[in-house]
Structure 1
Amino acid sequence: MSAEQSAPVPGPGPGPAPMPQAQQQPPDLSAMKLTRGTSCVLCQQRKVRCDKNKPCANCVKAGVECRVIPPVPPRRRKKRLQEKDLVERLKKYEGLLSEHGVKFEAIGHDLRSDGPQSDDVDQLENDVEGLNTSPEASVSPLAPQNEKPGSWFSLHKEVFRASEQLLQDSSEDEAEVGSTIHRAFDSMFSNQDGFPFIVGGRAPSVTGAHPSAIHIIQLWQIYIDNINPLLKITHIPTVQGQIIGATSQLEKAPKNIEALMFAIYVMAITSLEEPDVYRMFGEPKRELLGRYFTALQQALLNAGFMRSNDFISLQAYVLYLFAVRWFVDPRQVFCLIGIAVRIAQRMGLHRDPGGAGLPPFEVEQRRRLWWTIVGYDRRIGEMTGSTVTALSSGGDCKIPLNVNDSDLHIEGKEMPAPHTGPTEMLFALAHIEITMAVASNSNRDDFKMNNPDKAGPSAQGPGAKTPILTIRIAGQESPSYTFDGFCAHVEGTYLAQCDPKIPLHFFTLTMTRQSLCKMRIISFLVRMHNSEAMPIEEMERDSLFLQATQMIEYDNVIQSSESLRPFKWYSMHHFPFPAYMFLVQELRRRVSGAVVERAWEAITANYELRGLLNDLHTPMHTAFGNLFFKAWDAHEAAQKGSGRQVSPPRFIVALQERAEKRRKARAENRQDPSLEPVPVDFPRSRGPNQTPAGAGNTAIMTPPPVDQSMGGAQVQETSDMDWSYLVSGYQDVGSFPEFNNFGRFGYHLGGMGGGTGGPGGGNIFGNQ
């Protein structure tokens, strides 16, 4: 680091003082709603650029009064130090009164000098404007009632707030009310997909939307190779028999199996790149996705996935959620995941079935599906800044066993013995532990909330030392680790025996180590943007700089490795955003040296490998671009000072060109269509008569049109209504609702004769 030089970072200047006449003449409330920043009311109403002259050119041209209403100054958050000082003084004065024999009602012993009591009110008031998320919503219903709601703000909420602050500070645009990231989502995604809120009474068949038998087998094999090793929510030996049986008689396939088949088609195509899709199926990727997405949505509705305890339908819906992420606003995906969480909780997946007398096969399938839902829910929660996720609602489901699919049998009576080395569950188990790892001071730990006597020591009272930060697995009775100890645990448990020559092992090594880097960076970002920011030593900052660079380098390995191409779809869910947040600030002060060059090379390669230059229209990208300009200018100046010439990376040139076009358009008070973002539309097929690839019969393979008039799921009516679900919430942990398929975990096919079974009640699992 001796070769590094530091460049001063300019701090923010003082803001304008509030205008005194604003108190004498209250502004018009209707005009106040239309005004942002220092633009005049007319320009805000017309949504045009204001030149900030008084009067402005637009008002002069229109011949109207140019009115400007100053923004309300932001509320300053109180420092905890003030409250801590008051509590200490109160305790001191109460002690003096007690020494002199004065009788009074003491309250000092009920107050915590290190607690966030009054700060919770300020935090809530500040959150209402940005995210509209209340702390009460993040409290588990099983949590002790004497806990303060604000003490349970989650870690990813703090990271989201830090991201918001960074983007707002870096943007040169006028301040707007609301979340910068959420406004980015508004412009990035269209709002054309209404699933599952489709009204109507029809349930059209989707049998004709299946591909040919050959392509069904191809898509199933792609799913086995690309999807199953990472998600592990389907038992391959079992599902393969179901798919082969359904393919032989598609018109008689059970509705839940049909929904799962379309989910497999969608996920398989999603995992492929455009050239591979066209080479295999002779059609564009988006055309196939449009056809199978439409059929999948209708198949889920036909299966009544929200109205029954059908395990296969829930599997299909979870796969749909993974695939739809690329085309739907993450906030909408987060709500859709909430449906999956509620269905899973209704089925009892959040409670561990180990002691409920269920077959080992069902026990493991329940655990695998529940933790996949929880992990994905937490990931989307991070992206949207949401505090409430599946784990905050309680549950004691254990982590799945380290066993292969071949170790689980439908008729098995004994739980299989876990393996000590890598299995098919290698990545899934490592991912569960990483995503569920929580710090001891975080609200993400539901076990700590529900077991306060086992939660570990905490600092109480004056003079108490801050406990050492520890990490444990949320919702589990796991030991506590220091951060280094947790990293050693993950390395020793999952990574030590990995063979990089095996693609799944290589992917697990890379993604897991990238996640460990992410944990360190996020911990720092929370501290840095906290109201009580802790000082950080230069040595630790150097280490974090290296961790952030490595996080992007790990992502580059995944994006560039030929052996990991089948798994690239998964990495797209995990953009190294925290690393960018850290580096884009640090590179303004670190302007030269080997590690600086390494960071710039990693960022440049990441832009190229992920194709980030293909879409420069998002507000978040624009905000990061402003920070990158400043960082590169500092780096370039330092290099010139040393007598060296450097060429700007291609992404810097592209961002600079776009920024210049924006400045010219604003200066000329005009809109440039090339600068406007193009929302991502949900894929739709070109028409109802489009024939799927490989179809031999046009009449059979033509999918029916699906529009807003399509009906919801149709479930067979019965003469005797089952009211047991009304009391299921009050039942003991040992009671689990049975699945409507598989008997307890099997569906009755009766010769592939219908959705819920037919005469004979044969179990397809018995044929394996």
Structure 2
Amino acid sequence: MSNQACEPCARRKVRCDKQQPCSNCKRRKQDQCTYPEAAPTDRVKRLESLVRSLGGDPNSDGSRTPKRARLGPSPVETQSNDRDAGASTESERGQPILVEQDGQSYYVEMRAWHSHLGLEVNQQNEVNHDVLMSRPLISRTKPDALQGLLRADYNINLALQHPSVQDANFLWDRFERNANPLIKIDFDWALKGLRANSTDIEGRTSLKDPEHTFLFCLYLMSIVSIPEEECTKILHQPKQVLLSHYQAVCEQALSRSNIFCIADVIIIRALILYMASCAASIERLSIRSLFSLMGLTIRNAEALGIHRDGAILRLNPVETESRRRLWWHLQHLDLALGVRCGTTPLTLMAGWDANVPLNVEDSDLNPDMTEAPAERKGLTSLSYCLWTYWIVSQQREFFSSNRGKLGISWASNKSLPHATKISLINTMEEGLNKKFLQYCDPIKPLDILVQLTSRALICTMRMFTLHPMSFSGDANITDEQRHAQLVEAAIKSLEYNIALNSRPEIQRFQWFINGYFQWHAFISVIVEVMQLKGSPEAQRIWDLLSDLYTYNKNLLELSEDRRKLHAAELITSAWKARQTADPSAYKPACVSILEPLLSDNRGDATKTQTEVVGQPLGPVMTDEDLNAMLDLEFQDIDWGFWAGME
């Protein structure tokens, strides 16, 4: 048995049992378990360094009382390291490490834990993790909190809950085509191995519970991403039935994973897919509950050290890149949920240091790499995720430079000068153009999606800065100019939405696009067309609304969202006013579609009310109410109602 840790364990900073090969290398398989050759002089130098680290002098006669051990850098070293921001951070936090206990990795940052673990310091002033821990890192003698809330049924055989092999292959195909390009949280070659096991009856029996959990969340994500017709034709069940079934299976599998104390990174990936699926299908679960679940997931990710860059933890390039993708997607999804809840996520302003993932293809990475690959120039299969991560990084930068005074709604912050808002938006637009948009290929679906969604975001931000409820004032802009610019920005925002919904190349991403409809722009143009009535300028908006309803079929589902019903009533009432002002105007296609739907909706409501109370129910809004609303201006609208996502 060697008296030193093997080179892979020393590099990973994990405990080594010093066997040949050691248990860690046996488990990882890809590591070659080799031990360094220690010359006698090296051993003497190591021991002398250890004496110095304890405050002693190896050349003295031993009469001096040794000082207490110092695990951090010396003041001189600290001053030198302060030239580098990353080193400065480490001198403040303590050296981050990953240690293993009972086959699980734990992240340790505080110096107090270094003493608890009995870590030594070698001649390079690096922590030596070979010393046997005197006490366990995590006590497993106590139960975890709130265990009664997660009632897992261990009598259910998860291997039997998978779909048929044929259906599983179909769901995998749809995941890889529709969802994976937008949620790149694992490498394609890693998913390939998992697919092989999940589409084989015998292979399923070898899967562990965390792998089953990830697969069920993947199936749920796939079903969210496919249209109703495919569910009925290929899977032979309505989409809502499939969603309910796999949501229940996902939650049962997650309940076995103890989401309060997650020990396996694959469960973090599973939760991302679960939350992304439910957020895209907004009528299934409340956004606030998903936002709370995201907080729990991020705290577990921090406990696994995913918020720290893998290079600092001395992980290999593949592990480093994997953790970066995971952490940044958590931040992106956390910000998206925060926007829909009207809350600024606290991690947006926290001091984590995981770098943005590299702009590389999955094929550029392999488990045997020791050096990170060079980044590619232009767009890659990761580019959609990267532009969203870049937006998160810009938000963090705004927070840092303004000491957290800018929330996620800074574009609509009336206390912030208009010129400052425009400067921030221009900075984001220039960065997007330089880093992403100039490389977009107009025939590649993912490039089209990057271009349209990023431009729509900038347009929406400009619209918010001009909104009467958030406009900060500008001596160079009259109220009439501001209003004209606001309407133009709202129209442009909806035109981007129409482009996203009408381009056949990106129809496979429809599930994602539908989750981010811009209600503020929609109601803004409706209010504007009410004001224009018989004006010739109104025709452009009527044509826009007709195209919007043509390519947004979900807007016709009036019973599922009261905003859709109220918007339809406002549009039909605005048309009556236009018809009165200009009898020669032709009826827009959207009005021809909405009028019978509203009539049916009112009939259903009347029937329901009669059955319950015995009295007929009038329409949601009377004609008098709607006519009165034609005099509304922007400041009269309850914008909170239209922005609500519940």
Q: TM-score, normalised by structure 1?
A: 0.53
Call closer, same or farther: CA 1:600–1:616 in 2, change over 3 Å: farther
**Letter paired with 1:604:** S
Picking from 543, 547, 550, the partner of 2:485 is: 543
**Letter paired with 1:615:** L
Task: Indicate conservation of the 8 Å contact 2:493/2:521, yes or no.
Answer: yes
Partners of 1:609 and 1:439 in 2: CA distance: 35
Aligned to 1:242: 194
Alignment of 1:32-431 (within 5 A): 197-199=149-151, 202=154, 204-246=156-198, 247=200, 248-325=202-279, 326=281, 327-431=284-388
Aligned to 2:563: 620
1:229 positional shift? 0.7
1:658 positional shift? 7.1
**Letter paired with 1:624:** A
Task: Indicate conservation of the 8 Å contact 1:309/1:347, yes or no.
Answer: yes
1:626 positional shift? 5.5
Task: Indicate conservation of the 8 Å contact 1:209/1:292, yes or no.
Answer: no
Partners of 1:416 and 1:674 in 2: CA distance: 67
1:387 positional shift? 3.5
Report the secondary structure of 2:172's partner residue.
Answer: helix
Call closer, same or farther: CA 1:284–1:386 in 2, change over 3 Å: same
**Letter paired with 1:398:** N
- Percent identity, please: 24
Partners of 2:324 and 2:523 in 1: CA distance: 35
Picking from 489, 514, 521, the partner of 2:431 is: 489
Partners of 1:609 and 1:405 in 2: CA distance: 34
Report the secondary structure of 2:530's partner residue.
Answer: coil
Task: Indicate conservation of the 8 Å contact 1:260/1:313, yes or no.
Answer: yes
> What per-residue deviation string (whole Å, max 9, x for no partner) do you get for residues 616-657 of structure 1?
4633334435644564455444434xx545457235525764
**Letter paired with 1:294:** A
Call closer, same or farther: CA 1:196–1:631 in 2, change over 3 Å: farther
Call closer, same or farther: CA 1:312–1:600 in 2, change over 3 Å: same
Task: Indicate conservation of the 8 Å contact 1:616/1:622, yes or no.
Answer: yes
Report the secondary structure of 2:436's partner residue.
Answer: helix
Task: Indicate conservation of the 8 Å contact 1:378/1:390, yes or no.
Answer: no
1:202 positional shift? 4.0
The structure richer in helix per residue is 2
1:567 positional shift? 0.7
Task: Indicate conservation of the 8 Å contact 2:417/2:472, yes or no.
Answer: no
Q: Any gaps of 5 or more consecutive residues in structure 2?
A: 1-91, 93-145, 407-415, 621-646
**Letter paired with 2:361:** N
> What per-residue deviation string (whole Å, max 9, x for no partner) do you get for residues 318-360 of structure 1?
1011112321122222222222222222223333333331222
Aligned to 1:571: 513
Match status 1:433 vs 2:401: no
Aligned to 1:681: none
Alignment of 1:679-758 (within 5 A): none
> What per-residue deviation string (whole Å, max 9, x for no partner) do you get for residues 558-612 of structure 1?
2233221211111122112121132233333344667632322222332343222
Partners of 2:424 and 2:404 in 1: CA distance: 22
**Letter paired with 1:428:** C
Call closer, same or farther: CA 1:581–1:435 in 2, change over 3 Å: farther
> What per-residue deviation string (whole Å, max 9, x for no partner) do you get for residues 251-306 of structure 1?
22121111111111111121111222233333333333333222222222223343
Aligned to 1:586: 528
**Letter paired with 2:274:** Y
> What per-residue deviation string (whole Å, max 9, x for no partner) do you get for residues 535-567 of structure 1?
853344333322222222222222233221211
Aligned to 1:759: none
Partners of 1:198 and 1:407 in 2: CA distance: 41
Picking from 469, 477, 498, the partner of 2:420 is: 469
Task: Indicate conservation of the 8 Å contact 1:243/1:257, yes or no.
Answer: no
1:401 positional shift? 1.7
Call closer, same or farther: CA 1:250–1:666 in 2, change over 3 Å: closer
**Letter paired with 1:510:** L
1:670 positional shift? 6.1
Call closer, same or farther: CA 1:266–1:439 in 2, change over 3 Å: closer
**Letter paired with 1:421:** G
**Letter paired with 1:357:** R
Aligned to 2:494: 552
Alignment of 1:573-652 (within 5 A): 573-591=515-533, 596-611=538-553, 612-616=555-559, 618-625=561-568, 627-628=570-571, 631-640=574-583, 644-646=585-587, 649-650=591-592, 652=594
Q: Any gaps of 5 or more consecutive residues in structure 1?
A: 1-141, 143-193, 453-464, 472-480, 677-768
Report the secondary structure of 1:566's partner residue.
Answer: helix
Call closer, same or farther: CA 1:434–1:208 in 2, change over 3 Å: same
Call closer, same or farther: CA 1:198–1:660 in 2, change over 3 Å: same
* Higher relative contact order (Cα pairs below 8 Å, separated by 6+ residues): 1
Match status 1:529 vs 2:469: yes
Task: Indicate conservation of the 8 Å contact 2:150/2:255, yes or no.
Answer: no
Partners of 2:602 and 2:160 in 1: CA distance: 52
Partners of 2:565 and 2:316 in 1: CA distance: 54
> What per-residue deviation string (whole Å, max 9, x for no partner) do you get for residues 723-759 of structure 1?
xxxxxxxxxxxxxxxxxxxxxxxxxxxxxxxxxxxxx
Q: Aligned residues, how many?
A: 456
CA RMSD, 1 decimal: 3.7
Q: TM-score, normalised by structure 2?
A: 0.63
Partners of 2:615 and 2:354 in 1: CA distance: 54
Partners of 2:391 and 2:531 in 1: CA distance: 32
Partners of 1:291 and 1:660 in 2: CA distance: 32
1:196 positional shift? 10
1:384 positional shift? 2.3
1:426 positional shift? 1.4
Task: Indicate conservation of the 8 Å contact 1:613/1:654, yes or no.
Answer: no
Call closer, same or farther: CA 1:283–1:662 in 2, change over 3 Å: closer
Partners of 2:315 and 2:528 in 1: CA distance: 54
Partners of 1:249 and 1:673 in 2: CA distance: 58
Task: Indicate conservation of the 8 Å contact 1:552/1:576, yes or no.
Answer: yes
Aligned to 2:504: 562
